[in-house]
Structure formats: structure tokens, C-alpha cells
Chain A
């Protein structure tokens, strides 16, 4: 907690003090109009026992302090607008500026969710059409825009599974999940009250069909699948998988994390999925915001549609309206109608791309991934040597075995060259892996530059392993001690006493 008085950190180059450390008693950054109603003592309006006796220790800073603090902080942050961000399964594509403008329009940003329907027809029309577009892209019958994130969509979808089976008087207790799945899949299943059963992958990286047949028992509610999966591979046996699951009375859940690979190529609803979620913050270009807000709409086939959350938006030919009267619905999964302003951005994206543009997105994303995969395979182990979709996995096992340099070290070294690292150590079934998703918005030159740097790092691992192991060297802070943070948790600032 030492703020060095003699040599303050250079703005944007090192660390930035905490806003609390900039506080000076009496300083303000706000202004409000003078009170224009009769002033009455607070304790005459509220019971004294309900009142605060000590003010919260919020910072006392000027507006200039606030602006400089957060601006300087922003200068030590990587983002898509700064450079390549090839995080696998996160689809860090370019976030179009005009979409931000759209969401900031007062006619969207300044609308209260309980305004009377007759004065929010523009907002409802947007939601109505967005649902139609996602139905078309996903090959599903209806879509709820309410879930706030992918994981929230999973929770919604699995509660729909539960409601569907219960409606049929069936008590199914398990959900099958491939061993390559995102960690959220098992967590979502468990919070929905299911036990999880892991399905192994076969040697081609797809679902092991024999294992699936064996595991698909009458007590299994369904299978959660990401397709293409986290290895970036499309499951060639999709049709057989759907048959096996459906024949045993189970349902199929589509985790849309990797939908950027298949727009206009294959629609989850057509390939046998019953419930589908989309990640508007991945496939449909809305910014990730440093971890959120996202949006995770959930679509369903005609059979599962009655269970979608309420409300949905209907159109009677004259007026758009919110519909709550859906007796089989699982209810609501959050307040209001979802992350509306995120939906606005994704809507603007779909309207900008059009049907041919979206298909081109998937083709370009897949081409970029294959191109980069072949380049990286010259220096790294490629565990599944077949065409990938929008992402792929390579492993640093050679570097670890031969030079004692781990994938984590090479990931940190990438930061020195101005690239964000790919996802590392995931999926769990490939040791020392990098999971790389370049997206369609990166030029061939960027892909080449990244490949050159990866080759160079592989060379460094051979020639100067210690240099790589000590990386990063040029970032605002050096490698951070995560064990210390967890052993002695300091999760809020306290004034020095």
C-alpha cells in the first residue's frame, strides 16, 4: 500500500494508485441543483433507528481526479480495440462502433421497463424482430431474450428440460456432458438439480458413440453439447447422437459458445437440438465489457417452446405486446426482459451483416482458424490433425518435455509482443494446451504476425528457456503471485491505521 512520494509511477506506464489513496477531505466531483422543496430534517421523515450514523467512506476527489484515474488505468489494459485477442471459445471479434451509438440513443437508453406498452412500441418491435432473426439463424421455433449470459442461458435451458420431463410425469435425474465441455455445463446442471455424467471423447475428438449409447439410460434428462466443440471440431456423428438421445427419451441442449463457426452452414435446431442458447457477446459482436454484460438468449423447438421464460413479445398485426400468460413457462430468470441494450447492439450487427454477411463471417472465421492452425502446427504439437472450425487446440507438450517451458510461460511471453494470450489449459483433455480463436475480423497480416511471434517464442523456449519462464518482461506489472492473493485474501481497501 505504499504510494511512493518521491517517485510516483509514470502515468500509463506502471501502476496507478487506488482512487481511495487520492482522496482528500472536502473535495467533490459532483453537483446537484439546490433543494427546491421545503427542507425538513431527515429524522423527522425517517425513524432514527433506521438511519445511518456514520457516512460511508467514499473517496473525496475532484472530477479531474476521477477522469485521470480511470483514463490512466485504461492505458494499462488490453482490449480488442488495441490488438489481437485470440481467446478460444470467447469469440473476441471486433465490436462495431455504430452499435454502441445505437444502444446509447435516448430512445433506447432512457426507457423505463415499466413504461406503458403504447409508448415503447419501437423497443418491443426490436425485440420481436430480434427473436425472429435468432429463430432463423438457430433453426428454432421461439426465443427468449431474457437470459443475461451464456451460463444463464444454460440454467434456463436445463430448467426447461426439467419442466418438460415433469410434464410427462417422468423423473429424470442425470445430464450427460462431454469431457471436453466448458466448466459451466456441469455447474449449470448441478444448480438445476441434476447429477452429471461425463461422456468421453473418441480419438477424433467427437462424442464416443458407444459410450453415449451405454450411458443414455431412462433416468437421463439429456445431453449438453457444444458443436463445434471446444477442440474446434464439428461432430460428424451429430445425427446419430441426436437419435441416440431422443430414442431414450432425452433432450439435446446446444451450448452456443461456438456458433460463430456455423451461421448459415448448419442450424442447431435442424441438427436435432431441442434447446439452444446464443451468446450475443460472442457470435453477434457485442462487447465483452471486461467480463460482462453479455446476453444469452435461449431458443426452443416447437415442443419445448411452452417452457420458455416469460414474458415473450407478440404482435397482433397492430401492436407489439409483452405476453405473460404462458402456463407452462418456467417463470422468469431475471427481472424485466433481458439485457436490452446488449440486444440492441446485436440487432444492429445482424442488420449490418445480412444473411450472406453472416455466412461469410462463419466461412472467414473457419478459414482464419485453419490457416493459423497449420502455421502453428509447424512449431507446436497438434493433437487432432483434421480441419477445425472457428478455433483449434495446439499443445506445448514438446516445449515442456524438451525445455521445461510450460504453456503458461509461453502465454505470458506473448504479452511481451503485444498479443493477448489464447485460452490456456482448456479443454482439460489436452495437456498444456493453447485454445486459439482468431475470429473473422482479423486480417491475414495479423494472423501472420501472430504465427511469427509464436514461432519465435518456440525458438526462445529452445534457446533461452529462462527468458520465457520469467515472462512477461514489458507489461505494466510482472508475473503476479496468485497463490499469495488466495492465501491472504485482501479483497477490499482499508485505510492504513
Chain B
């Protein structure tokens, strides 16, 4: 008995005609090569099919049971941020020409995907001050891990990767997983005062070090002395990998100017919804001399048979489908639609907007920190910060967040989850979306608990 379904265009009459053309009586004959003993008998234990209306109701009901950044005031960051997404971004990424396409294997009918990747690469280069960028990686964590691996391959014999505990905990965990294959030796330097101690780092690196990874701003939101950390890496001939917040680059120095060999980061802030953690995009940029070491896809300019400008995937001999067992990365896709969102976002914000959004984050976060301090929540670290900062609480942080939640405010991330010694601290993020009124509400509510 065959199934009628809105996504299946062929009717029983069509199926019959197709079987007749094959000289068959039943579609089961086409599965005759599936041995009896491995064949699945019966019906899969899955819920029965829903009509479109039933589905809409069902997923709507599930969605309604989640808090959202629209219904709550969000001071949570820690690697995923509630930045404003201009309407244009959703409209462009919602065009089916973009989202129902695949990897541009036939460039002559894929110029939109290819050209937008080329524009994305250019935007990332401009933002980071690097010479070359790829078409994107899965996320910030995997981009950082792949940067470490590439460094080890580019500098044969070097397998040590050095970073501090101020690198995002989930990036460190991902790095640990990725390090198993290439047998990288990971060395974690404890952060001091919320930043990576340059002297300790200098002691930790040696001529077996492939790279130093430093995050700017780091997981605590603090500003690192990237130039000094980079110098420490270069002093032993290692690569310096900068892991940066792209929004911060509206005001912060681009990694290309402080000597980063590789720059990676989480691109979610660039027009990609929070989406309970994904999909996001990792950006990956490098100096020109590392171009041929880059993982992932790269789009480039060429000309067609009539001399007209066009775009293709290029330098593909770096990639897994050609290198196969000689590949240094197995990635064979990119987060193209998220990269398109980032492209549209950066074009919409433009040269002025990217600075303004960064400045608003900076100034609103500074205001929030100042007010919280006055309300009895001093900052955990004295170091300068961008849009995120840790505060100490005399009241248990769980109580603080529970009280805020009652007031439809999502408080900061409790740092004790990753750093037992910081069990009294909350990591508070303030984006351009937060109003003074919302910040004052947060401060007032927290102040009442003291």
C-alpha cells in the first residue's frame, strides 16, 4: 500500500508506469539485493505523519515552551550574543535561490553563491586585517582547533599548543577532542586577574610550540595584551593564533596589525540568530604565506571563455576530495548560509555602522559595570573589557539569577560552572540591544538582593 504525501509527486499510476518501463511488477524487486537477514521487518516506531496544520501547531507548542530574547531581557553572552539583526539579513538569507543551492560545483550556474563567498572573504579580511580568508568553518571552536592543527602541519616537528584558561572553555574542550588525531600536546596556562599572564606564557613556549592561541576579548570579556602574546609566540618561531569577536573589531585593533598568523572566531554576532547554539559560522583568516595551508573552501576571481569576470572555487588541491589521505583537514563544506548572513550584515552595517555598534556595546557595558559596582557587585577583574565583564556577588549567584528570572531577566553566566574558584562570579554581557532602562532594572533587582 503506497503512501500519498504532499512531498511525493509520483502517484500510484506514475509508479506503475515506471515499474512497467523496468519490466517489474513491484518495487520490492528493486530491493532484492538487500539480504533477508539484514532486512528491517515491520514498521518503524515513529509517530504517525502530521498534516501541515498539525505540524505547525505541534512545533509552535514546543517553541512556546522556551524563553526567548524577545520575551526576556538577556544579559547572557559567553560566546553567543544577542546582537540586533537588521531585517534585510533575514530577507536575503530567506531567498530560496540561496538556501536551496548546494556547493557551487557548476560555477556557471552558481555565481551568486560564489560571488557572495568572495565578498564574505573580503569583508573578513578587512575586518581582521588579514590577507586571506576562507569561506567559513563550522563555528568558532572548530575554527580555533583547525588553526592549531594547521600550525602544527606548517611547522613540522612542532606539536605543542599553548593557550590560557581565559580561552572559551568549550573551545578548549573542542581543541582537546581534535588534538587526539594529530597528537597535539596542549598546555594550558592559568589566567591571572582575568587575563593571560605574558610572563607565564613566555615560560610555557619553546621550540616545540606550534602555536599560541589567545582570545580577544577573552572569555571573561577582558582585553588581552595581544602584541605581547604574539611576540612571545614569535620569539620561539611559533604561530600566533588570534581568536576574536568580530563585533569588537569595530573598535579594537585588527589582528593583522599585531602580527597574528591566523585569525579565527565565532561569527554568530554578525547577523546569525542565537538558535540555541547553532548553526553559527567560524571565520578563518591567515597571512598570505599560509594561503595554501588553509582548510576549507576558497572562492576566487577568474574570467570566462569570453573574458568576462566570474568566480570559482579555487586552490582546491588543498582540499580533502583531492588530497584524500594527504589532507590536513576533512572539512568539505562551509556554513555558507550563515556566511551569507554575515556578509549581508556587514554590508548593511557598513564602515560607519560596525564602529557604532561596537562603541554602543562598549559604552553600555561600561555603564552597566559602573552601576553594578555602585549597587554592591564589584568587578571580579580589574582589566579593561569590551562588552562583557565578570562581577562578584555576595549573594549566591543561583539566587541572583533565580530572582532575575522571575522578573523576566536572564542574568549573567555563572562562572563556577567552568571555574570552581570563580563560583561567586557572574559573566554579564551587554550588547547594543540593551537599553539604559533594562540595565537599570537589572541593577535595581540585583541591588535589592544585597
Contacts and interface: CB of A to CB of B under 8 A. Distances in A.
A109 B7 CA distance: 25
Given A94-B7, A114-B413, A136-B46, A51 B252 contact: yes
A491 B121 CA distance: 7
Contacts, number: 693
B27 A480 contact: no
B68 A111 contact: yes
Contacts of B139: 148, 334-335
B40 to A, nearest CB: 5
A290 B98 contact: yes
Given A335-B277, A363-B27, A493 B118 contact: yes
A337 B275 CA distance: 10
B116 to A, nearest CB: 6
Interface stretch (B200-208, B230-238, B298-306, B374-382): B298-306
A357 B3 contact: yes
B366 interface: yes
Interface residues of B, number: 207
A478 B328 CA distance: 33
Nearest to A90: B102
By CB atoms of chain B within 10 A, which of A239, A389, A475 has the most? Answer: A475
A264 B173 contact: no
A359 B8 CA distance: 12
A19 B345 CA distance: 12
Contacts of A485: 300-302, 312, 314
A370 B32 CA distance: 13
Given A111-B67, A294-B333, A443-B14, A287 B56 contact: no
Contacts of B300: 485-486, 489-491
Interface in A407-434: 411-412, 415, 420-421, 423
A111 B354 contact: no
B94 A100 contact: yes
Contact of A46 (B80, B110, B223, B321): B223
Contacts of A347: 59
Interface in B160-218: 168, 170-171, 173-174, 176-178, 180-183
A24 B324 CA distance: 45
A330 B281 CA distance: 23
A333 B118 contact: no
Nearest to A139: B40
Contacts of B227: 49
A419 to B, nearest CB: 9
A85 interface: yes
Contact of A137 (B46, B55, B306): B46
B100 A95 contact: yes
B336 A107 contact: no
B38 A238 contact: yes
Contacts of B302: 480-482, 484-485
A152 to B, nearest CB: 6
A336 interface: yes
A382 B322 CA distance: 25
Contacts of A104: 90
A187 B324 contact: yes
* Interface residues on chain A, size class: 35 or more
Nearest to B411: A116
Interface string A361-377: 10110111011001100
Interface in B316-336: 316-317, 320-336
A309 B61 CA distance: 29
Given A70-B344, A87-B105, A92-B102, A193 B350 contact: no
A281 B359 CA distance: 39
A249 interface: no
Contacts of A287: 99-100, 337
A344 interface: yes
Nearest to A442: B9
A30 B364 CA distance: 19
Given A122-B62, A354-B47, A95 B278 contact: no
A28 B348 CA distance: 7
B70 interface: yes
A311 to B, nearest CB: 11
A46 B252 contact: yes
A335 B174 contact: yes
Contacts of B242: none
A485 to B, nearest CB: 4
A342 B279 contact: yes
A393 B138 CA distance: 31
B362 A45 contact: yes
A353 B109 CA distance: 32
Contacts of A115: 66-67, 76, 410
20 contacts: A51-B252, A58-B349, A75-B97, A77-B101, A107-B63, A109-B274, A111-B274, A112-B410, A123-B276, A152-B142, A182-B321, A187-B332, A233-B33, A272-B38, A285-B7, A335-B139, A358-B46, A361-B8, A480-B107, A480-B305
